[in-house]
Structure 1
Amino acid sequence: MIVDLSVGGVLIPGLVVHAFAALGATMAVVRVLAATGIHRLLAYRPLVEPAIFVLIYGLLVQCLPSVGTLP
């Protein structure tokens, strides 16, 4: 079970916290791809960006331990 995060007494589900972390990482990866010019090699950029998010989100959920990561 993924631990919930308590912010001022409001519980935020752990998967939402992982999603925000994945969103930040996705924005960084997209900027790196744009800066290096690799995004021009991709067939359809609006489809690639959500795919990158899904990959990073899946890796975060699978690789981060689900107990004790969020105080």
Structure 2
Amino acid sequence: MINDINIGGVFIPGLLVIALFALACTLLLVPLFTRSRVYRRLPFRPLLELSTVIVTFYLLLQGLTTLGLLT
């Protein structure tokens, strides 16, 4: 069960926090992708960015579950 986070009496869902963190990680990864030559040749770059968000979200969930932070 993913616990909610309490900030000033407002409960924020744990999955939302993880999703926002995955989005922040993606915003850091996209400039690294743009410097590569392969990324410039892709026909539909927004699809790659969306898949990057999904993959980082999944990896964060797996990592936090393995560490026991999501019980």
TM-score normalised to structure 1 length: 0.83
1:20 aligned to 2:14?
A: no
Shift of 1:63: 1.3
1:7 aligned to 2:29?
A: no
Report the count of equivalent residues: 67
Q: Secondary structure of 2:27's match?
A: helix
TM-score normalised to structure 2 length: 0.83
In the alignment, the residues of structure 2 paired with residue 7 and residue 38 of structure 1 have an alpha-carbon distance, to the nearest angstrom, of: 42
Calculate the aligned-residue CA RMSD, in Å. 1.3
Choose between structure 1 and 2 for higher RCO, CA contacts under 8 A separated by at least 6 residues: 1
- In structure 1, list runs of 5 or more residues that go unmatched: none
Shift of 1:42: 2.6
Aligned to 1:55: 55
Shift of 1:38: 3.8
- In structure 2, list runs of 5 or more residues that go unmatched: none
Shift of 1:25: 0.3
